[in-house]
Amino acid sequence: MARPKDKNSRRSRAERRRLQKEADAAARGLAANDLGQPNMRVQSLRRLFAWLRPDESDTSRKDFGGTIDQDICDGVGQLHALGLLDGHGHDPLEMRDRAREWGHHYAQLLRCCATRTSSYERMDKGVKEVRYTAADRRFDAMDESLGAMEKAALLSLIVDNLIGDFAGQQVVPWAQALVDEAMLKRGKVPHAMRFPDEHDRSLHRAAIRGMCQLVDATLPMRRNHLAA
């Protein structure tokens, strides 16, 4: 005779949480008609940045369909959309994309290593074998180019909202303060805001330096690729 299932066991509670998350995700999909419509978060960001239209002559800020979805989805994108990555000797779009490339690869490596902060549980019980690929070599070249302060700023801007202390939030506090200040200068006050202090600005400057270093680190690899 099979042993009766304990409804209060750890496995049963985890299963109920999983089913509830799936139901919530399905409900959100139905709310967006599940026909390729943007979800509620994207819609709210579109309304918040509806006043910010890309200039027809500025190809760096034009995305698919003339929207700015690629900019408003995270902190580094919003900094780019508001011109806070301009004037540093590199294409702002290239700086944004290289920062995202480095940050997402960094987070992927942490997930493969089953690393997770503030928890005694591994992120994944079945960790796959890690192979060293061309993307890893490119990431290593980018990562080795960063100084300590620049790396810390980019980790907080990109990685923390993926798997770190601000997971699930689109913008870390220091970047949010700069975004709010830039919007206030344009006559837009979306919510109660905190004015950026010198610490916020120093992190912004460090992130700018880090993005420039990331772009520089990929240039030799591009030349080698073209020569091959």
> Tokens 């004015």 correspond to what residue?
195
Work out the pLDDT band at 37, boundaries 50, 70, 90: low
Q: Which residue has the higher pLDDT, 8 or 218?
A: 218
Q: For 156, which DSSP code?
A: I
Closest CA to 157 of 75, 66, 59, 34: 75
pLDDT per position as a tens digit, 179-217: 989 888 888 876 777 899 999 999 999 999 999 999 999
- pTM of the full structure: 0.67
SS3 51: coil
User: Across residues 169-174, what is the average pLDDT?
Assistant: 79
Residue 63 lies in a domain: no
**What phi and psi values does residue 220 have, to the nearest 5 degrees?**
-60, -40
82 found inside a domain: yes
Q: Is residue 76 part of a domain?
A: yes
Mean pLDDT across the stretch 127-156? 85
Q: How many domains does the chain have?
A: 1
Structural domain of 199:
69-227
Residue 33 confidence class, pLDDT cut points 50, 70, 90: very low
Q: Worst-scoring range by mean pLDDT, 62-66, 143-147, 190-194?
A: 62-66
Instruction: Give the angle subtended at the CA of 197 by the CAs of 117 and 48, to the nearest 5°.
Output: 75
CB 142 within 8 A of CB 215: no
Do the domain assignments include residue 21? Answer: no
Asked if residue 47 is part of any domain, the answer here is: no
pLDDT at 130: 60
Could you tell me if residue 53 is inside a domain? no
9 domain residue, yes or no = no
pLDDT digits (tens, 9 = 90+) for 96-141: 999 999 999 998 888 776 555 545 454 555 555 567 788 888 999 9
Residue 73 or residue 75, greater confidence: 75
